[in-house]
Structure 1
């Protein structure tokens, strides 16, 4: 069931279900990005790296985090679009077999100078199953809201 902009409160939190990253995910990330660096694609090379194994491109974690955070809050058809990201950090590498989930918190919300539109700022944290933070940052989106009283 969809929420409305007016129902969202700063401080609200959600946690997504988990998702395990697979070999197919890493192959798809390499194929769609064109980034075949040996740290992603060569098990022998990556085995000698600090991580000791192949790791995902940092942007793949961002891709997964944004997808997992989509329903939080569920604004349905009221979402106008994404406005951007800020302060996104890669805290730990993501590897094949890692199970991840996102934690989403409403950091801020405001109406815009254009009636009927509001901005929601979400703090999104991509965590591994052991509770460690893999990536974290803030995402802003615009949504329809009730017209302000004249």
Structure 2
């Protein structure tokens, strides 16, 4: 069951939300190598990674982007009003992410505008992928195209 939708026009710049947590596993690490085809030893070779700065294998940044956008998908709760994800920009990898890290998404509304079609709006969200320690691992901006009319949940 989808939570009740918040109408586009009720959202304010500065509104924030926080997702539930997701603990990444060794399976996530292996899966990130398999789906990307990227088998660099920092991701795939524990012995190699042990002798690097992080001291252990790290997850692909692009996999963490996938996790972040998944955790942020319902922030804010827009129900079925979301028409399309318009993309992500300025995504930065600030800290390595490891198997065993528990991550959360923090979302802040940083912009909203009505499109040339007044029945639609664009919502800009800053997404931060945050470790359980509070450290920001990744961050960037996502834009959503949203219906402004009746937003049935």
Shorter-chain TM-score tier: over 0.9
SS of the aligned residue for 1:14 comes to strand
| Equivalent residue number for residue 77 of structure 2 | 74
| Equivalent residue number for residue 39 of structure 1 | 42
Corresponding residue to 1:54 among 57, 71, 88? 57
Q: Distance in 2 between matches of 1:25 and 1:41?
A: 12
Question: Where in structure 2 are there 5+ consecutive unaligned residues?
Answer: none
Moved over 6 A (4+): none
Residue correspondences, number? 147
| Equivalent residue number for residue 101 of structure 1 | 104
Tell me the TM-score normalised to structure 1 length: 0.94
| Equivalent residue number for residue 128 of structure 2 | 125
SS of the aligned residue for 2:74 comes to coil
| Equivalent residue number for residue 141 of structure 2 | 138
Tell me the TM-score normalised to structure 2 length: 0.92
Q: Mapping of 1:19-38 within 5 angstroms?
A: 19-38=22-41
Shift of 1:75: 1.1
Shift of 1:115: 2.6
Q: Distance in 1 between matches of 2:141 and 2:95?
A: 17
